[in-house]
């Protein structure tokens, strides 16, 4: 269940961040409301994750996967295509998340 909650937190954060760009500095009501709901949902589900997963591990996974997803969303929705250095960096982030999940004894499986 912890990974389901973490996945919900990540997706909600990505939705909130995407809407933050679309809100144009909170001048558009619809995207601004999505930001508030997205971040509220993200932090609520992250708090549930923290009941069973160490904060450092949860945050590493949440932020690493979130960064990667938001770059993909940015490329698709906002035409902000990453360069090769950014792609390599994201690959390293993904590798780090995999190492944490596969090899760390601090992650509850």
pTM: 0.85
Q: Check residue 33 and give its pLDDT.
A: 98
Q: Check residue 108 and give its pLDDT.
A: 58
For 3-61, how does the pLDDT look when each residue is reduced to its tens digit (9 = 90+)? 999 999 999 999 999 999 899 999 999 999 999 999 999 999 999 999 999 998 898 89
What is the per-residue DSSP string for the chain? -HHHHHHHHHHHHHHHHHHHHHTTTTTSHHHHHHHHHHHHHHHHHHHHHTTTS-HHHHHHHHHHHHHHHHHHHHHHHS-----HHHHHHHHHHHHHHHHHHHH-TTS--
**CA nearest to 59, candidates 45, 46, 76, 77:** 46
Q: Which of 36-40, 77-81, 84-88 has the highest mean pLDDT?
A: 36-40
């Amino acid at each position: 269940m912890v990974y389901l909650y973490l996945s919900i937190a990540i997706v909600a954060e990505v939705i909130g961040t995407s809407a933050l760009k679309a809100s144009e500095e909170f001048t558009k009501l619809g995207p601004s409301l999505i930001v508030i709901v997205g971040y509220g949902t993200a932090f609520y589900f992250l708090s549930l994750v923290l009941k069973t997963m160490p904060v450092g591990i949860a945050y590493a996974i949440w932020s690493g996967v979130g960064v990667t997803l938001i770059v993909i969303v940015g490329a698709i929705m906002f035409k902000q295509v990453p360069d090769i250095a950014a792609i390599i960096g994201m690959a390293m982030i993904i590798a780090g998340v995999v190492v944490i999940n596969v090899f760390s004894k601090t992650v509850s499986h």
